[in-house]
Amino acid sequence: MNEDIVQILAVDDESMNLLVLDYIFRKSGMEIVGVGSAAEAIQLLQQQEFGAVLSDVNMSPMNGFEMAHRMKGIEQAKSTPIIFLSGLRHDNEYIAKVYECGAVDSLIKPIDGEVLRSKVSVFADLYLQRKKFRRAIREQLEMKDRFLSQVSHELKTPLNSLYQFLQIVESGMAGELNDEQRDYLGIAIRNAASLREMIEDLMEVTRIDHGKLSVRTEALNLESCATSCIRSMRPAAESRRFTMNTDLPGDLPTVWADPKRVRQVLTNLLSNAMKFGGEGKALTLRARISPSEEQMVEISVADNGPGIAPHLVPQVFDRLCQVDQRLDIRRQGLGLGLFICRELVEMQGGQIWVESQLGTGSVFTFTLPVLGGHHDRNVADESSTALIV
């Protein structure tokens, strides 16, 4: 189909009127698609977009006004301009009804073809412009996505090597370090690590946008997964005089989840608690069977940091949300971590939320399905499709 030809939907129960319209719009850059009833029109409007609708009013069982009202409920048709073509008397009451149902005009039959064509061509031009504009935005967004994805891939390799060599130097393998050098190296490693996390976050979001985020669910011992996560974060916590407590009962049921993704969520929540908690504070990692749903296990990370203002709580899982406006803190992230966490938890069949009080602290909680519970089966089906992409 020629992209520059605008389709106009014509609705009339008199087939002769449709033929006349077809003739009027021949060679106009517009094309008439005719239907014999308002019901057929509604069906078609749900399937495709039109530049304008030309409709008779006096039709049965659904008349033109009712059709116009129904169009407001169809996303892609609710702003399509409607022009009525009617033999009815255009008195005040009629005109009021025309505008009340959202139509832009009404012409009395018999129609002057020239007048109708020029009126409709204004809407057709606007429609074409809107379409071109939307296409341009889509292309720009695709370009931005490609750019972000390429840049983050390109940055990742040299950064990884930088990070590894810094660690070699820090380990003393390349020679003894004095205290000052060790301090400076510590700062360099922390910054390289946070840069690596940001790049990883960017790559994850690109995967989410392309539906390519994968989870590989399996039977998982949550206690050992959480313990190893805490262990790997301990050095960072100790360097910031942060106390980490755990409450992980030994008899927790096995869950059905992706170990790598659970670690990723936990690491994100733990590092947030440390980042926003402030030096010298404490956090607690807990797990238990969900009190509201015994087929789910609930894992929470509680901190006694500054907390989040109630009106900002609903936004923290949104993409690019950064509640803390202090520049030094904002620079340590992109505001993507919790957005990624929510995606990962939901892909494993769980939910994530936060309870927080200003000045007291925050508790981030997420759930995972218990192995053999009814939730895991649904997720297992979905995760196998997620793996194919």
Residues that bind Mg ion (CB under 5 A): 272, 333, 337
Quick one: what does residue 298 bind among ligand ADP, Mg ion, none, with the CB cut-off 5 to 8 Å set by partner type?
Answer: none
Q: Are 351 and 178 in contact (CB under 8 A)?
A: no
Asked if residue 233 binds ligand ADP (CB under 6 A), the reply is no
Locus of tokens 């966490």: 341
Q: Rg of the chain's alpha carbons, rounded to an integer?
A: 31
Query: Which residue among 11, 32, 205, 316 contacts ligand ADP (CB under 6 A)?
Result: 316
Query: Which residue among 21, 222, 338, 344 contacts ligand ADP (CB under 6 A)?
Result: 338
- In whole angstroms, the minimum distance from the beta carbon of 311 to ligand ADP comes to 13
Quick one: what does residue 322 bind among Mg ion, ligand ADP, none, with the CB cut-off 5 to 8 Å set by partner type?
Answer: ligand ADP
- In whole angstroms, the minimum distance from the beta carbon of 274 to ligand ADP comes to 9
Quick one: what does residue 258 bind among Mg ion, ligand ADP, none, with the CB cut-off 5 to 8 Å set by partner type?
Answer: none
CB count within 10 Å of CB 133 equals 10
Q: Which of these ranges, 71-79, 119-127, 162-170, 268-276, lies near ligand ADP under the rule CB under 6 A?
A: 268-276
Asked if residue 188 binds ligand ADP (CB under 6 A), the reply is no
User: Residues 269-288 vs ligand ADP: string with x where CB under 6 A?
Assistant: ---xx--x------------
- In whole angstroms, the minimum distance from the beta carbon of 230 to ligand ADP comes to 16
Residues at the site binding ligand ADP, with contacts judged by CB under 6 A = 268, 272-273, 276, 303, 305-306, 308, 316, 321-324, 333-339, 362
